[in-house]
Amino acid sequence: MTIVRLGYVAMSVHLQNCSPSQTMTFAQFQKIHDRDEAIKKLERIAISNLHNCLRLLKHNKVHDIRFFRFSSRLIPLANHEALDDWDYMRMLEQPLADIAQFLQMYPMRIDFHLDHFVILNTTDRNIFETSLKTLRMHEALLKGMKVNPQHRCVLHIGGGYNDKEKALEQFIYNWGYISNELQRMIMLENDDKVFTVRDTLYLCEKLGIPFVFDLHHHFANHEEEEDWRKEWDRIVNTWKYSPLPMKMHISSPKSDKEFRAHHDFVDAQLFLSFLHEIKGTVEQLDCMIEAKQKDEALFHLVSNLRSFPEIEWIDGASFLIR
């Protein structure tokens, strides 16, 4: 028996005018000739994004959803080199405190999935430093929400650079230049093009990093003889020192032709088949739904799963699989 808790990504298709990813390009920023006014506009956008995050959390509460991924685009241009003097956290203290207060009243697992430009196995010093800067920004946001930053940021391993083994070793080399505070934030995910389950396990086991298993990515990218079932116990074991339950990503391919792209919804039968394979091997599994229809994909999956007798519902988005 395993507890399964469902979550979704970043925004709702049901809430109107509630994007947490409103932005401004640097070209737009430059068109505002008064720099102070331009920065004030950036701050208004960031505050609005956080306000919408709070709306999303309240929406989640109504539907018993206790697992949610924040957008990583909450603060536009936060890492732009031309804005190094911008103390954006000063203006965000109150909206972050509002989120912290809500999470204290209604505990919820929240985390981030950092964008593709955060690359920790790069040999380019500038890219590496910008990646660390982005991690520090997410650490500041989590602390502002009074959330323990440990194991809250999912990353892909990075580039293959035409030599996977060398790229993996570069990650290990670069790891030594990352502070302990930032290291403890990180979880690693197998990707759909380069780094397989075994590649990801190699780093997770060597460096003590929790492995966020993505079943869809595994189907899209695996060695001919590679079977996730044979590696499952190792995947679970990477979570033994985490204060959080094990998590994974679930999604379905858009089509046979566009296999790597995400479908609007999740195939309930495929998900249930997976759960029957792993039930009882872990006490709780938090499943992040990566689907185009966001919260509607969660509601759709819940509706489809309600017909299966082996599932015992705990609330609107959590259940026991027997």
Nearest-angstrom CA–CA distance, 205 and 298: 32
**What is the average pLDDT across 99-118?**
97
Residue 28: burial class (beta carbons within 10 Å; 0-12, 13-18, 19+): middle
Q: Which of 53, 150, 73 is nearest to 118 (CA)?
A: 73
Spell out the residues 6+ positions from residue 249 whose beta carbon is closer than 8 angstroms to its own. Answer: 189, 212, 213, 214, 215, 216, 217, 287, 288, 290
Q: What are the structure tokens assigned to 80, written together?
A: 């732009």
Q: Which residues pair with 214 in a beta bridge?
A: 249
Residue 133 is predicted with a pLDDT of 96
Residue 225 is predicted with a pLDDT of 86
Q: Quick check: helix, strand or coil at residue 179?
A: coil
47: left (phi over 0), alpha (psi -120 to 50) or beta: alpha
| Contact of 122 with 159, CB cutoff 8 Å | yes
Q: What's the mean per-residue pLDDT of the chain?
A: 97
26 band by pLDDT with thresholds 50, 70 and 90: very high
Query: pLDDT by residue (tens digit) across 241-272?
Result: 999 999 999 999 999 999 999 999 999 999 99
Residue 224 is predicted with a pLDDT of 86
> Can you name the CATH fold of 2-16+108-321?
TIM Barrel (3.20.20)
The domain locations on the chain are: 2-16+108-321
Query: pLDDT by residue (tens digit) across 203-231?
Result: 999 999 999 999 999 999 999 888 999 99
Residue 16 is predicted with a pLDDT of 95
97 band by pLDDT with thresholds 50, 70 and 90: very high
Residue 126 is predicted with a pLDDT of 95
